[in-house]
Structure formats: C-alpha cells, structure tokens
C-alpha cells in the first residue's frame, strides 16, 4: 500500500507501524514519507509527522538530507505535530555545522515562547543544549533563557530545564 494511502486511511499506531515496515522493506518509501511530511494538505503532513518522529529517534541520520526542507517547513507549519516531531528528531541527531546556528535560533524562539506547546519547548531545550556542546559560547545565554521560562512550564518541563541548566553551567 502506498504511504499516502495509509496516511489517508487512518491515523493510528498501526498506520505508523505499517509505514515503518514499508520503509524497512523498501527504503525508497522513505522519500514518499518525507514528501507526505512536506505536503501542503493539513491531514497528510500531520499524520506523516508521527512516523517521521519515530524514524528520527531510531535513525536520525536518515533525516540529515532533509534538514533544509525541515527548517523551511517550520516557517509556516500547518500543525503543531509538524513542529513537535521536527524538533523531536533534532534531539537525536548530530546536526551538521552549517545548520546549527539556524536550528539553534528556531529552537531558542520556541523555548522563549510560553504559548508554544510544552513538548515543543522541552524538545527545543535539548536541541539547543546539544548544539551548545559544539558552540560553548551559547551556554550562558541558553541557561538564562531557560531560567526565565521555568515559571511557565509543567513539572516535566521544569525537570528538563533544571537538569539542562545544571549541565550547561558545569
């Protein structure tokens, strides 16, 4: 079954698993999934974001060729799921140097926007902290920004924030 057809038929863990199995059987199907992730139809990109997030966690290197489009895709995302799963994948990848500054800026804005979903803000903390490991001069700026956001966070956000601040200042 074609990736887009699976996404249109249902939005579930089963659909996501079908897509992941399809990609394991035929790696060319990964391009089809990414085409759906970048689709302009709200429902398609939303549903594609789940398996993209799973792949980003398990094999983040597969997404590196798509980084320019992922970055561009966040300029006007159709759904929070796109933002959440994009930033989620970035937590697990070694972001190439040429994208680190842009991705840091994007995630820093998410961290400092109390209107953004908690998951997006929490994932963004990890992405920015990972980038700080290669660009240490950003550490204090990030730690200060995270401190300023603690009052707006859930207990999970605060936990991640405190651990990250401690790591940044050690």
Q: What is the mean pLDDT of residues 78-98?
A: 95
CB-based contact 84:70 (threshold 8 Å):
no
- Percentage with pLDDT > 70 across the chain: 99
> What are the tens digits of pLDDT across the range 5-27?
999 998 888 888 999 999 988 88
In this predicted structure, what is the pLDDT of residue 164? 97
- For residue 114, pLDDT beyond 70: yes
Alpha-helical (H) ranges within 26-151 are 29-37, 42-58, 67-73, 80-91, 97-111, 118-132, 139-149
Helix (H, G, I), strand (E, B) or coil at 137: helix
Could you tell me the pTM of the whole model?
A: 0.93
Give the sign of the dihedral formed by CA 6, CA 9, CA 10, CA 14: negative
Q: Would you state the structure tokens that stand for residue 138, as one six-digit string?
A: 């950003």
Place of tokens 């204090």: 140
- Percentage with pLDDT > 90 across the chain: 81
> What are the tens digits of pLDDT across the range 144-156?
999 999 987 889 8
Helix (H, G, I), strand (E, B) or coil at 89: helix
Q: Would you tell me how many other CB atoms lie within 10 Å of the CB of residue 116? A: 19
166, 156, 74: which is closest to 118 by C-alpha? 156
């Amino acid at each position: 079954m074609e990736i887009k057809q699976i996404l249109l038929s249902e939005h579930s863990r089963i659909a996501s698993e079908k897509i992941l199995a399809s990609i394991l059987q035929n790696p060319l199907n990964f391009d089809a999934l990414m085409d759906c992730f970048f689709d302009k139809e709200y429902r398609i990109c939303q549903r594609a974001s789940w398996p993209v997030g799973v792949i980003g966690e398990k094999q983040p290197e597969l997404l590196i060729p798509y980084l320019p489009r992922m970055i561009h895709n966040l300029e006007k995302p159709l759904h929070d799921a796109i933002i959440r799963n994009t930033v989620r994948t970035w937590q697990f990848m070694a972001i190439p140097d040429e994208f680190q500054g842009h991705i840091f800026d994007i995630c820093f804005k998410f961290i400092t926007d109390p209107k953004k979903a908690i998951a997006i803000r929490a994932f963004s903390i990890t992405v920015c902290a990972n980038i700080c490991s290669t660009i240490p001069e950003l550490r204090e700026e990030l730690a200060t920004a995270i401190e300023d956001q603690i009052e707006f966070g859930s207990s999970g956000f605060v936990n991640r924030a405190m651990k990250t601040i401690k790591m940044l200042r050690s």
